[in-house]
């Protein structure tokens, strides 16, 4: 499929009934109307099975929307050959330094507050 036909940076489709077709379209590179049309055509041939499957997916999506999206994006990344960037080995060091600077900033604020009180007392 050409990326010019189906841009991946577009907004996700608006859910109409249960959001199943919109979620599948968002996870894949197909527009939502193609997924909805395929669902409708399948429903014409096997309505009961399609209805049961649609309701089950709707309930599952409602309960686990974030987890499903994360799994589908991992699957899409895996299939397209992309990998997640490796974790930053300095992230814990950066977090500790940020915490240390925040503590030093609080200490400096206390010292400035104490100093300004002393200066005000000396002026009197």
Domain enclosing residue 119, as ranges: 88-124
Residues 110 and 65 in one domain: no
Please give the Cα distance from 54 to 35 (Å, whole number). Answer: 12
Residues 48 and 96 in one domain: no
Give residue 2's pLDDT.
43
- How many angstroms from the chain centroid is the CA of residue 92? 23
pLDDT: which is higher, 14 or 56? 56
Q: List the alpha helices (DSSP H) in 1-124.
A: 20-27, 32-45, 47-63, 65-80, 91-123
Please give the Cα distance from 30 to 33 (Å, whole number). Answer: 8
Q: What is the pLDDT of residues 15-33, one digit of tens each?
A: 566 678 887 887 787 888 8
Residues 76 and 25 in one domain: yes
CA distances from 30 to 59, 60, 117, 119 (A): 22, 21, 66, 69
Residues 61 and 98 in one domain: no
Nearest to 20 by CA among 66, 58, 46: 58
Asked, for residue 11, whether it belongs to a domain, the answer is: no
| pTM of the shown model | 0.41
Asked, for residue 8, whether it belongs to a domain, the answer is: no
Residues 61 and 94 in one domain: no
- Sorting pLDDT into bands at 50, 70 and 90, what band is 41? very high
């Amino acid at each position: 499929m050409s990326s010019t036909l189906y841009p991946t940076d577009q907004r996700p489709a608006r859910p109409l009934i249960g959001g199943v077709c919109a979620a599948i379209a968002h996870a894949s590179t197909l527009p939502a109307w193609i997924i909805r049309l395929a669902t409708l055509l399948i429903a014409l041939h096997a309505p009961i099975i399609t209805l049961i499957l649609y309701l089950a997916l709707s309930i599952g999506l409602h309960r686990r929307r974030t987890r499903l999206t994360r799994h589908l994006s991992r699957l899409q990344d895996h299939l397209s050959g992309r990998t997640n960037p490796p974790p930053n080995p300095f992230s814990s060091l950066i977090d500790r330094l940020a915490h240390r600077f925040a503590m030093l900033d609080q200490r400096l604020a206390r010292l400035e507050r104490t100093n300004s009180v002393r200066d005000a007392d000396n002026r009197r």
